[in-house]
Amino acid sequence: MGSETKGMLEIQKDKMTEIKFTKLFINGEFVDAVSRKTFETTEPRTGEVLASVAEGDKEDIDLAVKAAREAFDHGKWPRLPGSERGRIMRRLADLIDEHAEELAALESMDAGRLFTLGKIIDIPACSRNLRYFAGAADKIHGLTLKMSRELQGHTLKEPIGVVGHIIPWNFPSTMFFLKVSPALAAGCTMVVKPAEQAPLTALFYAHLAKQAGIPDGVLNVVNGFGSTAGAALASHMDVDKISFTGSTEVGRLVMEASAKSNLKPVTLEMGGKSPLIIFDDADVNVATELARMAVFYNKGEICVAGSRVFVQEGIYDEFVRVSLEKAKSWKVGDPFDPTVNQGPQVDKVQFDRVLSYVEHGKREGATLLTGGKPCGEKGFYIEPTIFADVKDDMIIAREEIFGPVMSLMKFKTVEEAIERANKTRYGLAAGIVTKDLNTANRVSRSVRAGTVWINCYFAFDADAPFGGYKMSGFGKDAGMAALDGYLNTKAVITPIFDSPWL
């Protein structure tokens, strides 16, 4: 790394030496936890403590829900014209744009996200998401019902109430606004429980929300652990809906807690083991680049990672050769370095988990072609890893690794590819690489996944509904389907003047 690059890194790091917000945000104020307890969030690029953050628990969740309930039942947010909610949301989006560099740096420090990508992709996507739903806030309406000769009616779309959002650590900003944006547009109030590994950007967004004019109690943020704060939110009798993104195992607990409390509806976006199916007619350079991004992007910490790469036998050997060449040029290092492709895993727990899966792969007989080891003198960095000769029943082919580990598998026919792609409990996403429209259409209709990308990957947009099949969950986190998830439908019936009802 040259002296000029090092100097730039130091400037970027110096900009974020001060962590501004570490408390809970309840009813428009930053407050200590009732217990006064705190926990440490670490910086994954160094492994050192980044900040001590207030640790919320059941009592704090109770206070936050009480504030959200008051804001919903008696506050102005649900009663504002949609156009006014939209105006305030657009103001929040403007504030995010104004602080994009600071937010991207904060996310790099707290979650190991690449600073450059955060600044030009992640943070701008958050403000775009807000503006998308801000535009929908004044277009929420029901239907006119003709019904019978004696009755007529209409439906009303009403905000569902107090919502609990439980967000993950891999894309803290993105997931925050995938959930908060449609809920705000619908007129809901909410409590956000960010992941304990990366809570800092959520607190910053709460600060900006108040600056934008979102009323007190509408948006509350309670840091804490899943087994305490998260469990209290999921089981709370005064929460009307839970939206959760995380592992399938924790999603089960959230759904169970919701059912055992007040039968609140849940939206669950959970794990994935997505197939990327590459056919003989694919351009190998294009296919290997898509595969590299599908697995190694964000250090593999992405629920839709195309970690099962199926390659048709005609181009398999060339695909392996080119993939190995590209893996060697994939640079792992400091997320503030603009020349780096991959930063550190989020924490020591995830770092050790990924390395344990590498050992599983070797023990079960998969061929380690490259990577599989830690790198760097400090921090939680792992080399991009490629296994060949992977069988469908191996642990690395069945379980979500959430790290930079690619499993290569050879196939012969379209039928075989479809069958093996569907041989998983998950169904979040899938990718297809082919020049044949018939093949693309056939496979996209046959693969059981909530999103299918053809000759692209990670092609997200605010307008495209995002959610899974099978044990990847249900409900949507983008598009108009997401907005509908925060609305109740009420039927209003009236008799016609000369009907027998009068």
pLDDT tens digit sequence for 249-294: 999 999 999 999 999 999 999 989 999 999 999 999 999 999 999 9
pLDDT of 13 reads 57
pLDDT of 147 reads 87
Contacts of 268 (CB under 8 A, 6+ apart): 244, 245, 251, 254, 255, 473, 474, 475
Would you state the structure tokens that stand for residue 196, as one six-digit string? Answer: 């304990």
Mean pLDDT to the nearest integer, 180-191: 98
- The dihedral formed by the CA atoms of 258, 262, 267 and 269, expressed in degrees to the nearest 10: 0
Q: Are residues 279 and 262 in the same domain?
A: no
Q: Encode pLDDT of 79-110 as tens digits.
A: 999 999 999 999 999 999 999 999 999 999 99
C-alpha 427/C-alpha 473 separation (Å) is: 8
Q: Are residues 31 and 169 in the same domain?
A: yes
Asked whether residue 335 is domain-assigned, the answer is: yes
Residue 100 C-beta-side C-alpha neighbours within 13 Å: 17
pLDDT of 329 reads 92
Which entry of 55, 107, 269, 400 is annotated as an active-site residue?
269
Q: Are residues 327 and 403 in the same domain?
A: yes
Would you state the structure tokens that stand for residue 92, as one six-digit string? Answer: 């929040």
C-alpha 159/C-alpha 486 separation (Å) is: 6
Asked whether residue 467 is domain-assigned, the answer is: no
- In 3-state terms, what secondary structure has residue 38? strand
Q: Are residues 54 and 124 in the same domain?
A: yes
Mean pLDDT to the nearest integer, 153-160: 96
Nearest to 346 by CA among 398, 405, 301: 301
pLDDT of 150 reads 84
Asked whether residue 460 is domain-assigned, the answer is: no
CATH of the domain at 47: 3.40.605.10
Q: Encode pLDDT of 140-154 as tens digits.
A: 999 999 888 788 899
Q: Are residues 257 and 125 in the same domain?
A: yes
Q: Are residues 203 and 140 in the same domain?
A: yes
Contact 432, 453 (CB under 8 A): yes
pLDDT at 312 over 60: yes
Q: Encode pLDDT of 409-448 as tens digits.
A: 999 999 999 999 999 999 999 999 999 999 999 999 999 9
Contact 310, 295 (CB under 8 A): no
pLDDT at 16 over 80: no
Asked whether residue 464 is domain-assigned, the answer is: no
C-alpha 479/C-alpha 182 separation (Å) is: 9
pLDDT of 203 reads 97
pLDDT at 499 over 70: no
CATH of the domain at 310: 3.40.309.10
Asked whether residue 501 is domain-assigned, the answer is: no
C-alpha 365/C-alpha 372 separation (Å) is: 14
**275-278 and 429-433 as β-strands: parallel, antiparallel, unpaired?**
parallel
- In 3-state terms, what secondary structure has residue 157? strand
Residue in the block written with tokens 């390659």: 311
Which domain does 323 fall in, by range?
Answer: 275-454
- In 3-state terms, what secondary structure has residue 432? strand
Longest Cα–Cα distance in the chain: 87
Residue in the block written with tokens 């003198």: 377
User: Between the CA of residue 181 and those of 134, 165, 172, what are the distances in Å?
Assistant: 8, 11, 14
Share of the chain above pLDDT 70, in %: 96
Q: Are residues 258 and 342 in the same domain?
A: no
C-alpha 170/C-alpha 176 separation (Å) is: 11
Contact 66, 187 (CB under 8 A): no
Paired strand residues for 433: 278
Question: The pTM is what?
Answer: 0.92
C-alpha 156/C-alpha 154 separation (Å) is: 7
pLDDT at 191 over 70: yes
Q: Are residues 309 and 193 in the same domain?
A: no
pLDDT of 146 reads 86
User: Which of 10-14, 220-224, 260-264, 333-337 shows the lowest mean pLDDT across its residues?
Assistant: 10-14
Q: Are residues 108 and 240 in the same domain?
A: yes
Provide the domain count of the chain: 2
Q: Does residue 269 have an active-site annotation?
A: yes
User: Between the CA of residue 139 and those of 184, 479, 483, 484, what are the distances in Å?
Assistant: 14, 14, 11, 12
C-alpha 290/C-alpha 427 separation (Å) is: 19
Contacts of 267 (CB under 8 A, 6+ apart): 241, 242, 243, 244, 467, 473, 474, 475, 476, 477, 485
Would you state the structure tokens that stand for residue 345, as one six-digit string? Answer: 């895993």
Would you state the structure tokens that stand for residue 124, as one six-digit string? Answer: 């701008």
Asked whether residue 466 is domain-assigned, the answer is: no
C-alpha 197/C-alpha 178 separation (Å) is: 19
pLDDT at 3 over 50: no
Q: Encode pLDDT of 125-140 as tens digits.
A: 999 999 999 999 999 9
Q: Are residues 420 and 294 in the same domain?
A: yes
- In 3-state terms, what secondary structure has residue 367? strand
Q: Encode pLDDT of 65-81 as tens digits.
A: 999 999 999 999 999 99
Residue spans of alpha helices (H) in 297-342: 316-328
- The pLDDT confidence band at residue 23, using thresholds 50, 70 and 90, is very high
Q: Are residues 323 and 447 in the same domain?
A: yes
Measured CA angle at 482 (ends 29, 202), to 5 deg: 25
Q: Encode pLDDT of 451-468 as tens digits.
A: 999 999 999 999 999 999
pLDDT at 192 over 80: yes
**219-221 and 189-193 as β-strands: parallel, antiparallel, unpaired?**
parallel
pLDDT at 9 over 80: no
Q: Are residues 314 and 239 in the same domain?
A: no
With b for 16 or more beta-carbon neighbours within 10 A and e for fewer, the 118-157 pattern comes to bbeebbbbbbbbbbbbbbbbbebebeeeeeeeeebbeeeb
Would you state the structure tokens that stand for residue 143, as one six-digit string? Answer: 């239907």
Nearest to 209 by CA among 85, 333, 323: 85
C-alpha 288/C-alpha 286 separation (Å) is: 6
pLDDT of 316 reads 97
Nearest 5°: phi and psi at 77? -55, -50
Mean pLDDT to the nearest integer, 372-379: 92
Contacts of 41 (CB under 8 A, 6+ apart): 49, 50, 51, 52, 53, 110, 196, 197, 198, 199, 200
Asked whether residue 3 is domain-assigned, the answer is: no
Residue spans of alpha helices (H) in 224-273: 231-234, 248-260
